[in-house]
A = this chain, B = another copy of it.
């Protein structure tokens, strides 16, 4: 059953997908192997085959994987065979960079709204969107059945806004605020804090 697959396996699927799309679109490759994919990603070919075997039989002994077919399958598995509208909360310098980031498109996401509570930012245009007041947040999420949000607010505001988001119907939050947030079970949260990543690396430096 889908819910028995370890989350660490799920976490590798987007990495495979990203590499496969690069092979198909930038290198015009038609087929690949778990060996080739593994070499690019620094992951063993056995691990890749095992991960994919949770979901079906995608490759053939000898010919390997048909890249476009595997891309299509991974997109279905990850529910990327649609475009998820995303609510971005926070129109500071990080919010602005995210609003202008072109990497969401064609990968399943589109930032559709930006919210902030700073009167100086409300009404500004970022990435082609007008910054909306926080007072509009709940109704917008509810009306459009938005499920995915990006939190780019200061740490002190993150929990309160996260509560608002969940109450309004958000089910997945990418949190850029450097603080852990508590959400009800069943709500997805992922974190992005560059300092955590860097601190994990300096452990290994003399």
Contacts and interface: CB of A to CB of B under 8 A. Distances in A.
Count copies of this chain in the complex: 2
Interface in A157-206: 171-172, 174, 178-180, 182, 188, 190-206
Interface stretch (A57-65, A101-109, A117-125): A101-109
A148 B202 contact: yes
B97 A14 contact: no
A154 to B, nearest CB: 10
Nearest to A185: B42
Contacts of A194: 98, 101, 103-104, 150, 174, 192
Contact of A172 (B19, B103, B179, B198): B198
A194 to B, nearest CB: 6
B180 A40 contact: yes
Contact of A94 (B101, B108, B179): B101
Given A22-B179, A97-B97, A203-B79, A198 B148 contact: yes
Interface string A85-107: 01000000110111011011001
A146 to B, nearest CB: 11
Interface of A: 7, 10-11, 13-15, 17-19, 22, 26, 40-42, 77-80, 84, 86, 93-94, 96-98, 100-101, 103-104, 107-109, 147-148, 150, 155-156, 171-172, 174, 178-180, 182, 188, 190-206
